[in-house]
Every structure is written in structure tokens, then in C-alpha cells.
Structure 1
Amino acid sequence: MISASTPNSATDAPAIPAPGATTHPNGAVWMVATVLATVTGALVPLIFNPRFYFYDDTAAGAYGIWYEIGTKLRGGQWPLFSDTGWAAGNYAAEGQWGLWNPAVMLVGLLASVASNAVVFTTIFKIVLLAILASGTYLVARRLGSNPQWAAVAGVAVPLAGFTVYMDAASWVTGLMVFSLLPWAWWGLHRSVFSRRNPAPALIASYLLITIGYVHGTLMLALLIVSVLIQCTVARQWKLLLRTFAFGVIAAMIALTVYLPGVLTASVTVRSSGVQNTGFLGIDLTGLASSAIGSSLPQVAGWWGTFSPVPLLYIAWFLPLLALVSLVALKRIMPQLVSLITFGVVSLALTLAPSDLGPLRFPVRLVPYVALVVVLFVAVVLSRASVKTIGPKRIAGVFTLWLIGLYLAVAQNPTISKAHLLFAVLSAAGLGLVLLVLKRPSWPVIRRAGLTGAAVCVIGVSLATSVLQHHYFTGAPLPDFHMADTVDQYKKPLEGTQGIAFVSGNPIPLRPAIWEESLLSNQWYLSDVQVQNLYSPILFAKYTYDLCMDSHGWTCDHAVDTLFTKDPTTGKPLVDLLSIDTVQVLKPAKPTPATELSNRKVPDGWTEIHRSDLSLVWVRDKPLMNTGGPVWTSSALDVSTVSNSSQHLVLHVSSNSGGTVVLSRLAWPGYDVSGASMAEPTRGYLVTLAIPAGAEGTDVSLTFEPPAWRFLVVTIYLAMAGGLAWCIAESVITRRRSRSEIRSSANRTLVKQ
């Protein structure tokens, strides 16, 4: 017997408990067990690959951001905008810097004082997985699952293939928002349907949104809509208004985080069209084999046509769905409207075209599909399982298992040994679980019951993880083999001055190149300011001009572009960009023009380093004037009074008007007094038109993200509204409790 509830005599279905209202004396114990099992599972990859959690975007992107945030905070600065960051310096437009997120700020402070980047990142990601597991457990309990199946769900979701091999290994911002969504879900369900204080939901949602990863915010919006639909279907209008109020607060927060990016999109590389390239798209065949740990589905990516890791694996115990009574399932479906809605739309979005405007890679939403599937299994096995497990049910379980196994083998028949081992493990696990559930009266398993089944499921889940990492030791994304310790990032370009630019691509040269150069946001860990930083949005015309990728690497001929004279100003581009140090990397496919040995030192520069992998030139007389004037028309004379990332003051010393070119990108949001904005030079450098007769006056240039003051007010209003709601709810709850106590006391006196 699977469910602890009493079955109905007329059917084989158990009675249905009210969702979120069930309590269990060992609930806290099961939640602790869930976290401990999850941490154990998170340590498994490290047995086979100690750097598992430091792949790709984590190493090249996220860690550098955390380090820069912490460094700026310790220096008394808030990281809103940096002119020295060039295409990556508009933090508000990028969104993913977590400018409004106290948790991200704390992570940044800790990262900036950590000595080992790999160890710090590993610990942080394991904490995130534990947060994900505990939140999943709570959501499952809110939806009516018993503690045992809720624990199974809590352990299974962090072990799902995409979460392990993509988000945990590399795309850490995806893991951050995903780990918070179950907490927002639990808090929202608790606040709406139990009329409890909205503080947990508001806090979790605020942290999720302000991380700035748009896919997580979209899924939170879908969750809110799903709850609204459930309230509408049930005609619970007061609860609908409560959910709507929550949605308004969340929308105000999201507006502040994402509107700067929307208003800046016109100068970035973000796409606005809808197309399907098939890149990182999935199909139903891959999802249908998601119960097999060795399934390598057809997911086209940087690796080729088929994923080299079990990217769409969800959980090995999914065939246990055959134990669900359709009669009981039908009865509880009205209580699961939000779960079903969220799951169906998540699946539809996962199967969507590869590019939906600025949103790319629908495979990013696979974790949310996995979350819904596992929650559904946990809830229906708790609330709608059959009373008696007969031969037909057992046959149904193994039929589902066999279908998944066939599809897994069909997609990649070359790893037959792996398929055999995973098949034996899952078949044995299913058989053992069925035995425990079918024969609870046997002396050996009499005391085990449902607890024994849950322990078995969790144990096989962890064993499956061990087997997966034995065969698939790393993520399908690149390991750049960058240094572990922070001190090692200080060595490249050590001792140079001013802004540096790196021409070429270091990836084919790794790992030897890391003694001489760095990649993307790892430059934040260096004492050298470099233009080649990571940015998901970029400044289109600047990056096209220099043939720069989002990771900061360039074409081999970028150095030639730097030393080519601009036709408008007559100055070489390297001067207009205020570059004082140039590093040229060895081309992967050298030509006579790009071969390092044929590179001659430009006039006014000195070569300070040359090796088989790179050479470095420094300017004889460093400009050190990033953000300031780099060219003026012949009749104009200006001098710099003050210069910072967001504010520049120039003093005009001539009576004739003219134009001034500044070495800063023309992001939307600049405002000037004493002059006017002219058409950007080369399409991307800020250019000011100073009127005649301005002698002796100052020109002031200020940057704020578009609509910034309005957005700051908006997010503070959202915070104030959320706080007021929480306080009011607390006051009302206390008054209601006091009233109930007085009423109870009065009833007692009347009886006496």
C-alpha cells in the first residue's frame, strides 16, 4: 500500500488530504535528510572531476563578476556603470550583475577575499543545490505529498541532467534562479491558499528577480499566472486578488531590473526576431527517455548533434507513475491546476523555436519541466496511488521502463555497456520499490513500508549519479583549465599601464596561454584594466568594428584595425579608444600577415614581451585618459576638469565651436549640458557638439541608465508595498489569534 491515507471502499484510490494542510511528526527530519542526501549527491561529481563546478561561463564570466562586485563594494562603490568596461561596462543594461540583490553582493564580498576560486565556487554551488532541494521538498508538501515522496522529489530535482551538467557545472545564474523558484512557489502557495504572511514568497521572489536572469523571472511570472488560473477555476476571487497583488509587486521589481536593458537594446547585438536554427532545441523523444540515466538525446549544440551527457535525464523512478489510480487522479486534479498549467506551458516553451527575440536556447527551461514532472510524481504517488499493486500495475511500470530504455538505446546505440548497467540498476531499483510497497507484511520489510521505499528510491538515485559521473565526467561545455588560486590571475600583463586590449583568441592556446593572458571576466581578478570582457549584450558597432565575440576574444586582424587611421579624425583607432597596452596572441591558423614573427612594433610603442604565444606592446607616453576627450576639431580647445565613469566635466578655452570625441561608448542614457550630443564617431564613440561663444564655460556630461530615476522609485515602492503587506498581515494574524483565544475562553466560561 503506497499511501498512508485510508482508501475509499468503492474504488482503489486513497482518500484525498487537503493540500498544504497535512502535518507529519517527522517532517523536519525528512527535510534534513533531503538536504544531506542532496549534498552527498553534489559531492559525487568531485570524485571523478575536482573542477566539475568551474566550467565555461562560471570560470570565464560569473566568478569575475562576483570578484569585481566585491572589490567595488569594499572600495565604497556600487557597480552600476564602468566606462573602462567598454562593451561590458553597462551593468544595469546587462541585468545579470544583481545590482539590487543583497545575496549577490554578499557572494561578491566573499569571492573578493577568497584565495581559491574553484573551492569557493564549488562550495557556493553545493549550497545552491541544497537550497533547491529543500525548496522542492516544501513545495511537494504544500501540494499534498507525504514527507517520504517529498524527500524523493527534493533529492531528485538537483540530480536532473540539465541541472547537473549545465547549470551547476557552468550556467550558475540559471542555477541561482532555479534554486529560488521552489521557495517562491512554496511561499506563494502558502500565502494565497492558507492566507499566511507573504514574506517568504516576497523575499524569495525579490532575490530571484534581482539576480537578473530573465528565464527565471519569466518562470516566476508563469507561476503567478498559474496560481491566478487556479483561483479563477475555483472561483476564489479574494485569493485571486491576493495573487494579483503579489504579481504587481513582482512586476515592479522586474521593471527596474530589465527595463534598462530593453531601452538600451537598440545599440546592442540582441536579436529581435523569431527563428528556429535547431540550436539547443529538444524533442519529445529525448524527454520520453528521461527516466534512463544513460540517455544521450538529440540536442544540437556546440558539441554536435547529440548531447554527450544525459542532458534530459529527469529521474529513474518515473515509471512508477503506472501505480497511479486514474479515478483518484481525476478527483485531485482541481487542486493541481496551477501545477499542471505551469508544467504544460513550461513544456511548450521548452519546445519553442531556438530564438524568441532576445531569448535564446529553450533548453534552458528543461529544469522547470523536470521540477514539475518530479513534483507531479511525488504528489500523485502520495495522494492517488492504488491500494493494491497487482500484476497489471507491475507490468505497466516495466512497460514504461522498457519504452524509455528502447528510446535511449535507439538515440545512441554505441554505448551499449553503459545502457546495460543503467538498465540493470533502474530495473533492480523498480523491482525493490515494488516489493517494499506490495509486501509490507513481510517480516523483513514490515517496519520499512513507505519509508523503506523512499530510502530505496533516494539510494538508487545517488547510485545512478555515481554511474553517470563515471561515464560522463564533465560538462558538455568547455573547461578552460584556468588557474585555481586568485594570485595566479595577477601575473598576465603585470606592470603595464592604462587600458589594455587583447587581439586574438586564447582558447586554442590554453592552458599554456594563461601564464601570459586571461579570458573574459577573469581580467577582473587582474590589476590590469582590459577591454576584452564578457558581455551577453555587447555594443554592436564597437564589437563589429573590432570583430569581438561576447567572450571578449577577437579576430586575428583586430590589431590591424586598432592601428588604422579613422577617416573622420585622422587618428588611429588605438588613440580614440585610449588604449595604452596591446597584447597580440598567436593565431590558431597563422598567415604571413598575422604571424607573430612578422609583427612590427608601431611608432611610439615599445615591445616589452615576446614569446611563441603572444607579444605585448606598450605606449611610450601613456594616454591614461579613458572616458575623456581624445580628439577635437581644429578650432576647439578643451581641457578635462573631472572624469569618472558616470560624470565628465570639460572646460572650454576657445571661442569657436566644434566637436569633441570622447573615449567612451555612446550608450543610451547620456545627458549633456553646455553642449549637445552629436552623431557618434564610428557609430559608437560619444561625440559632443560645442556651440560657438562657449569660451570660459564648462560642459558637463552625465550618465544614468534610461528611465533610471523612475525605476529607482518603482523598486522602492515595491519594497515598501511588500513590507507594508507583511506588517499588516502580521498584525491581522495576531489580532485574529487573540480573538480566537478570547472566544475560546468565553465558551469555556459559559460551559462552566
Structure 2
Amino acid sequence: MEPPAVGARGRFGPPLAACLLVVVVLLLPLRADPWFYFYDDAAVQILPTWRRLGEQVLAGGWPPLLDVDAWMGGNIAAEALYGVWNPLYPLVWITAALVPDLAVAGMVIRAAALVVLTLGIYALCREYGARRSMSAALGAALPFAGSLFYFDVVLWPAALLAFAWLPHLWWAARKAGRGRINPVWTFLFGGLIVTAGNPYGMLAACLVLLGVLVETALRGRWRSVRDLVLVSLGIGALVPLVYLPLVLSSSVTWRSETSFGNTGVMAPSPFDLPALSLPHHVPDVEGLGGAPLAVPAVYFCWFALPLAAWLDWGALRGRWRSLSACAVVAGGFLLLAIGPSEMWMFRWPIRVLHYGYLGLAVVLAVLLSRGLRRDRPALRVGGTVALLLAAAGMSGALEPDRFRSNAVGLLVVVVLTALALGVFFVGGVRWLAAVLALGTALVVAVQAPAFVTSPGFATAGLPSSVPELRERFADRYPGVVFQVADLDSTEQPGVWQDMLPGGMYPAAGVTSINAYTGIGYAPFSDLLCLNYTSTSCADAVPRLWRAPEGTDVPLADLLRLDTVVVQRSVLDAPRVPAGWRVERGEQVTVLRRDFTSPWPAGTLAAASPGVRVVSDVAGGDRAERLRFERATADEPATLVFSRLAWPGYRAELDGAVVPARSGPGGLLEVELPPGTRAGELRLTFTPPGMNKGLAAAALGVALAGAVGVAHARRGRRDDSRGAPGATSTAPTAPQP
């Protein structure tokens, strides 16, 4: 047995070393590709939007629920993924706003999230009795599992922020189930996951809580089961606040249909899972857009498979009750990972593999803490060789064109396995843990260069420096900008000198109609043929100069456009209407308006003939006040605002509610009833269901608070009776 650690160094050294190693390994791929992390959704949606939200918070605008200038990407509450109700997210946004380089800000946020995750895995493994050194080794390994690293860390850091708190929730729930801490901690960590706005995180919280409830019930701790059920209901009460705006806005978005099926997209086969320790194995899975998947998404950690033959599996027989939550989490998510491929908000099931690997990591840490078996070494060496050869043979059969990289990965694993075995037999568990952790760093260093991001959309050369972006675009594209470009497939050199993808324009100080969005706004996107990346088509240009159905005002005027940027490869010579001037460059044609809106302080775009607008002032994104006069009021009149008519708008004319509906192109249209000669119109926006969500969340907080107070009172009462152990059973004693 490993000697007991003494002092703070022995207690805090392993987790701190694991955190440091994770941060260092995180930086390794940048040597192969400086744009490794500034890619896809991270570059064109998440990081620039975090910066935009941070600027709004610093200006006093919290919570940021609507951004009118972001158009389809501006319904922040309905997008959900920005975590507007999460108490820690403002720190993320402010970090993105204060760091002048988006890529650097993203690395700082990722590093912080991975440190939180590593500490959570360490604490969870310790809670199940694993040694400090081995808990740290698994804490350093899991962050680089393929589905977590190549998807959540690289592409979707918003999902990483939700997953980072999952082991903390599991730790708190299990400790509360054993009576060791107040159940209110379970609510706090569960609330951080749910309010992050990631549906996979919410699903994971449900499965973890179910697993802990099963484990607690098997131990016969029914009072703890009751407390955990009540706290779980409190966590569930936060869900309406986060997701009701999305559900109640779905009628106008691309998410209006609830689909359930198995198309095979991003769904691994069970035959891929035996390769979970091969760092270069790419599963034979259809990726996004129909292209084959190009990353080692099923990779878990390099040592799980080769050391399987050396573990003392018999030790699990006496611990099936205490490890039942691991079986629920690992088994549940590994089943979900193989399909169905689409269940409404839950798509691309390969993304949940690392949730299941969290359960496997706990079991692996517990088994490795006991050390490796020393008996029958020849048989165990044969077992390791057989497992690796079988996995390598399967991988080679699936992807023979990647033979060389697969062979390199296999060789690295073989060498590390031999080193791990030799070090263990000489130095014991602590030195074995060190090899496992350092081997993780070596594997990532070898693996990442083979899977650098492709040089297509939103990658190579895209500026991440905010001062550089603003110097290049802010003065060049004044006012409200609409870009017609196909950036999904372009690989032209210097393309980012004249255009930007997705949601990058706000970071450049430009107000752009183009935005990256996961929900869209169907009438508006249909009119301008915009997709989720903000790519448009050539037909959008002539539509700007025509009046949409239901109005006689050109669409460009309804959108209050000042600048139109047209990629020449999409439309080389757009028609220039009266009142616009043109500038032709090598990549783009830029059209600029010669006049400005008569109502610059608000968002009014058009008014019926006979309506004289006295004043129009927007009081932020969610409120506007307009005063008008009419010479005659025999007929109804309409006002069209340069806002999308998201569900949640309310219009009041001198205190009386008047119709506010979706007008031409999905723009907000308000009807003035006949007989009204003058008045004051007030527009307000409240995300649909928000008030109900706030009420449900308040009840959830009250319920969790009541459980926490009752638990604290029971503890004080038991202490006063001289029964300090009355509220807990003997814990699973972690080894040093």
C-alpha cells in the first residue's frame, strides 16, 4: 500500500498538479494549428456573442434577453445556450469583453472550465474511495476524451461550461445521500448545470440524480432519498425559466417541429467502443453535412483498454451497491450514444459519450487505486496484447486509409503501457498514476496534429483581435449592414479582408443583420434565404429593392439598411437603385445609402400614409415609445418596426392593448385602430413564459432552501443529543 500523505502538500498536491497538467496539455494543439480552437461555432457564434453580452452587462444591461441589432441571433432568452440566468455566466461574458483578443479570451475561459471539471472529477473519484494520485490521473485524462475535447472544448465551449459542473453535482448528491453535507449543495450545482442552457447538461443532471437516488435507496437511507427527491424537484423547477422562451417561440423558428428518429448522423456503432483507448481511431460515422466524421470521437483514455487485463475486477462484487450510480450513468449514456440520432433538442448522440465515460472514469479510478494484479503475468500480457490487436484490427478494417496514423497511435499506447507496468512493479500506485497522467499529455501531443481543423469556413486567417477587426471594418461599413455571401465553402485567400462570417460583425463594431443562430426566424430567413451561419444567396439582393407582400415600402427601407456587402463570386454586378452609391473591390461590391432614417432614435421603419410620427425613442432593446398624430382617423393604420416579431411583444396605445403581430418579412407590425387621431404607443418585450419561469424558479429555490434548513436543524438537534453520527453512516473511506 502507498504510504499515507502528510500535510497540505499531500492533500492538495495531486489535484493542483492535475489542473496544471490539463492547462498545459490544452495549449499543445496550438503548436500544430494556431486556429485549432478558433473554429466553427466557437469563432463565429459563441465567443463574439459572449463578448457582446459582456459589453451589455458592463453597460448595466442585465439580464440580456434580447438584442434587436442581432436579428435572428438576437433572441438571447430563446437561444438558451447563453445561460442568461446562470449566476456565473456574467463572469464569462465580462472576460470575453475585457480580453482584446477573442481567441485568447476563449482559451482563458476554456482553461478555467477544464480546471473546474478536473477538480470535480478528482473530488468525485475521492468520494468513491479512490486514491488521491489516481483520482488526479483520471481528472487529467477525461478532459481529453474525444467527444468532449473535439466537440465541446474545441467547437462548443458553451456545452463545456455545463459539463464542467456535472461531477460536482454527482459529488454533492452522493455526499448528501450519505448524510455528509447539506442537500442544498446538490441544488446549487444542479442549478448551475440547468441554467447553463445546454439540454445535454440538463439530461445528464437527471441521469446523475437518478443514479444517486438508486444508490441511496439500495443503502436504505430513506430520509436522504426523500431530501434528494425534493431537491431534484427544486432543480427541475428551474427548467421552465431556461427553456420556456424557446418552446413558446418555436412557432416562428426552425425548431417548430419535434422530430424523433435514427438517421445515423453522429451516432457511433457499438463496434466502435472497443477502440476507446486508440487515440487515432476515427469511427465510421456520418458527420454534419453528410461528410464522414473526421475526429477520434470515441476515444476515452489511452490506458483503459491495455490495463483492463491487470485490474482486480473481483473487487467490484462487494461494491455493486455503492457503485450503482456509476452503472446508471455509464450505461444510460452509452446507450443514448448509439441512438436515436435525433430527439427534438437532442441531436448528434456521439456528443454524450463523455457523459458515460465519467461513470467509467470513477470505476476505473477505484480499480486502479487497488493497484495492478501481479499474479499470472504471462496470461495478463497476453490479454493486453489480444485486446489491443483486436481493437487495432477493427480500426484498420474500418479505416484502412488511416493505417499510418493508427499505427503511430497504437505504438504510443504500447510503449506507455509497458512503461506503466514497469513503473508500477517498481514504484507502486503513486508512480503508476504519474505515468498515466503524463501519458495523457504525450497522447494529446501526438494525436492533435493529426486532427487539425480544416482550412475552410471560419478558420485559417480569420482575425481574432478585436482592435484589428474594428480598424478594418467599423468605419468601412457604417450603419446597418447586410452581407450577401457564401462563406460556408469559400477558401479564397484574403477573404476576411472584406467579409466576416456569422456573428463576428458585432465584435468588429458593425451592426449587421447577418448572425449565426441555432433557432432562426423562419419568415425572415425565407425572405433573405439566410441559413444558420448567415450565408445568403444572390436572390436576396433584388428582394431588397422590392416591397414585401403587404406593404409598398422596399425591404431595404424596412430593414433600415445603410450598407449592403455583396460577394462578387455570388453576384458580380448587383443593380444599384436610386439613392445608393456603389464601390467595387476585388472580393466584394459595397452599396451605401445616401440618406438616413427620419427616426434615428428608434426602430420605426414605415408608417401608413397620414400618420405623422412626432417622436420615436427606443429605451433599450426591450422597450420603445412612439408619439404620433393623424389628420384623419377613419381607417386603421399600421406601423412597421425594424425588429423581428418574436413572440413576447406587447403594444399599448395610451394604456390600451393594440395588436402587435408578424408583418412583412416577419417584422413587427402594430395596428392603430380607427378613431385614434393622436396618442403614445409603448412597445415592450418579455420572453414568453418568463414570468411563469421566474415563479417556478422561486418555488424551486424555496423548496431547496426548506430542505436545507430542515437538514441543518436535524444536524443541530442530533448534535445536542450527543449523537454526532446520527445523520451519517460510515463513509467509503478514501485511501491516501
Q: Tell me which amino acid in the other structure corresponds to 1:286.
A: D
- Whether 2:381 is the aligned partner of 1:394: answer yes
Give the whole-Å Cα distance in 1 for the aligned partners of 2:285 and 2:337.
Answer: 12
How do residues 247-286 of structure 1 correspond to structure 2 at under 5 angstroms? 247-270=232-255, 271-286=257-272
Aligned to 1:460: 439
Aligned to 2:363: 376
- Whether 2:405 is the aligned partner of 1:418: answer yes
Q: Tell me which amino acid in the other structure corresponds to 1:64.
A: P
How far did residue 653 of structure 1 move? 2.0
3-state secondary structure, aligned to 2:245: helix
Deviates more, 1:252-261 or 1:514-523: 514-523
3-state secondary structure, aligned to 1:26: helix
Aligned to 1:471: 450
The answer (yes or no) to whether the contact 1:498–1:622 under 8 Å persists in 2 is no
Q: Tell me which amino acid in the other structure corresponds to 1:653.
A: E
Extract unaligned runs of 5+ from structure 2.
727-736
Give the whole-Å Cα distance in 2 for the aligned partners of 1:49 and 1:678.
Answer: 50
CA, structure 1 residues 379+86, in 2 after alignment: closer, same or farther (shift >3 Å)?
A: same
Give the whole-Å Cα distance in 2 for the aligned partners of 1:233 and 1:255.
Answer: 31
Give the whole-Å Cα distance in 1 for the aligned partners of 2:455 and 2:114.
Answer: 20
Which of 287, 296, 300 matches 1:301?
287
Aligned to 1:41: 25
Aligned to 1:17: none
Instruction: Encode CA deviations 1:265-302: one digit per residue, 9 max, x unaligned.
Output: 11110141123332222111222211111212112224
The answer (yes or no) to whether the contact 2:514–2:534 under 8 Å persists in 1 is yes
CA, structure 1 residues 742+434, in 2 after alignment: closer, same or farther (shift >3 Å)?
A: closer
The answer (yes or no) to whether the contact 1:24–1:147 under 8 Å persists in 2 is no
Aligned to 2:734: none
The answer (yes or no) to whether the contact 2:560–2:605 under 8 Å persists in 1 is yes
CA, structure 1 residues 68+25, in 2 after alignment: closer, same or farther (shift >3 Å)?
A: closer
CA, structure 1 residues 567+48, in 2 after alignment: closer, same or farther (shift >3 Å)?
A: closer
Give the whole-Å Cα distance in 1 for the aligned partners of 2:216 and 2:284.
Answer: 38
How far did residue 543 of structure 1 move? 0.7
Report sequence identity in percent. Answer: 26
Give the whole-Å Cα distance in 2 for the aligned partners of 1:347 and 1:738.
Answer: 47
Give the whole-Å Cα distance in 1 for the aligned partners of 2:245 and 2:455.
Answer: 33
TM-score, normalising length: structure 2 = 0.90
Q: Tell me which amino acid in the other structure corresponds to 1:426.
A: V
CA, structure 1 residues 713+389, in 2 after alignment: closer, same or farther (shift >3 Å)?
A: farther
The answer (yes or no) to whether the contact 1:671–1:702 under 8 Å persists in 2 is yes
Aligned to 1:10: none
Instruction: Encode CA deviations 1:372-430: one digit per residue, 9 max, x unaligned.
Output: 22222222333697573543333223322222111222222223333333222222322
How do residues 565-604 of structure 1 correspond to structure 2 at under 5 angstroms? 565-587=547-569, 590=570, 594-595=571-572, 598-604=573-579
CA, structure 1 residues 360+586, in 2 after alignment: closer, same or farther (shift >3 Å)?
A: farther
Give the whole-Å Cα distance in 1 for the aligned partners of 2:96 and 2:586.
Answer: 33
CA, structure 1 residues 526+484, in 2 after alignment: closer, same or farther (shift >3 Å)?
A: closer
3-state secondary structure, aligned to 2:437: helix
Aligned to 1:20: none
Aligned to 1:749: none
Aligned to 1:352: 339
The answer (yes or no) to whether the contact 2:275–2:395 under 8 Å persists in 1 is yes
Give the whole-Å Cα distance in 2 for the aligned partners of 1:634 and 1:737.
Answer: 79
- Whether 2:630 is the aligned partner of 1:630: answer no
CA, structure 1 residues 378+475, in 2 after alignment: closer, same or farther (shift >3 Å)?
A: farther
Q: Tell me which amino acid in the other structure corresponds to 1:95.
A: A
Which of 673, 677, 687 matches 1:705?
687
Aligned to 2:463: 483
The answer (yes or no) to whether the contact 1:673–1:699 under 8 Å persists in 2 is yes
How far did residue 254 of structure 1 move? 2.1
Aligned to 1:167: 152
Could you say what the CA RMSD is over the residues aligned between the two structures, in angstroms? 2.8
Which of 51, 56, 71 matches 1:72?
56
Aligned to 2:733: none
The answer (yes or no) to whether the contact 1:88–1:534 under 8 Å persists in 2 is yes
Q: Tell me which amino acid in the other structure corresponds to 1:666.
A: A
- Whether 2:470 is the aligned partner of 1:492: answer no
Give the whole-Å Cα distance in 1 for the aligned partners of 2:239 and 2:725.
Answer: 44
Give the whole-Å Cα distance in 1 for the aligned partners of 2:353 and 2:564.
Answer: 42
Deviates more, 1:305-314 or 1:355-364: 305-314
Give the whole-Å Cα distance in 1 for the aligned partners of 2:180 and 2:15.
Answer: 23
How do residues 632-711 of structure 1 correspond to structure 2 at under 5 angstroms? 632-634=607-609, 636-644=611-619, 645-654=621-630, 655-660=633-638, 661-674=640-653, 676-677=658-659, 680-682=662-664, 684-711=666-693
The answer (yes or no) to whether the contact 1:140–1:150 under 8 Å persists in 2 is yes
- Whether 2:517 is the aligned partner of 1:535: answer yes
How do residues 603-618 of structure 1 correspond to structure 2 at under 5 angstroms? 603-607=578-582, 609-618=583-592
- Whether 2:70 is the aligned partner of 1:85: answer yes
CA, structure 1 residues 428+257, in 2 after alignment: closer, same or farther (shift >3 Å)?
A: same
CA, structure 1 residues 97+546, in 2 after alignment: closer, same or farther (shift >3 Å)?
A: same
How far did residue 71 of structure 1 move? 0.9
Instruction: Encode CA deviations 1:182-225: one digit per residue, 9 max, x unaligned.
Output: 11211221122233123543333222222211111111111112
TM-score, normalising length: structure 1 = 0.88
CA, structure 1 residues 487+236, in 2 after alignment: closer, same or farther (shift >3 Å)?
A: same
